[in-house]
Amino acid sequence: MDIFTTFDIAASGLKAQRTRLNTISSNLANAETTSTPEGGPYKKKSVVFQSEPVSFKNQLNKSINNHAEGVKVAKIIEDQEPPQKVYNPAHPDADDDGYIALPNVSVIKEMVDLMSATRSYEANTTTIKSAKRMALKALEIGR
């Protein structure tokens, strides 16, 4: 595997984790949103990853060199669970029985996901820095 393949794989991970971080941020920001333009409470979103398809040239090289593929965001899915019902008759979005529908966003779970995505992002940046240092050391050998 050459240095540019390492950069490509790490960059795809950075891009995917950035999308994951943005999705988690959106979930946290809307954890108590009871009314959306679509109607009803905010629906929690989750990111689904898949391996990144490669071109024919890369597929050929893959079969020869047996190197890894990158990652990409396949889709962002919405939670299909019913919303939480909380009794609050003074709330403007309360139904006739006095209940409001809150999103199924657990702030604790989202914070754990946020820390995991941050660590994955940092791991990809460390990979790029390490590959860069190895390339510079290889150039120094030739002097």
Say whether pLDDT at 2 is over 80. Answer: no
**pLDDT value of residue 19:** 96
76 contact partners, CB below 8 Å, separation of at least 6: 19, 23, 45, 46, 47, 48
**pLDDT value of residue 70:** 84
**pLDDT value of residue 8:** 85
Say whether pLDDT at 12 is over 80. Answer: yes
Residue range 37-62, pLDDT digits in tens: 988 899 999 999 998 755 556 656 66
Q: How confident is the model at residue 3 (pLDDT cuts 50, 70, 90)?
A: confident
**pLDDT value of residue 52:** 75
Structure tokens at 105: 């966003």
- Among the listed residues 139, 119, 127, 122, the one whose alpha carbon sits nearest the alpha carbon of residue 6: 127
Give the integer Cα–Cα distance in Å for 59 and 66. Answer: 9
**pLDDT value of residue 39:** 86
Say whether pLDDT at 124 is over 80. Answer: yes
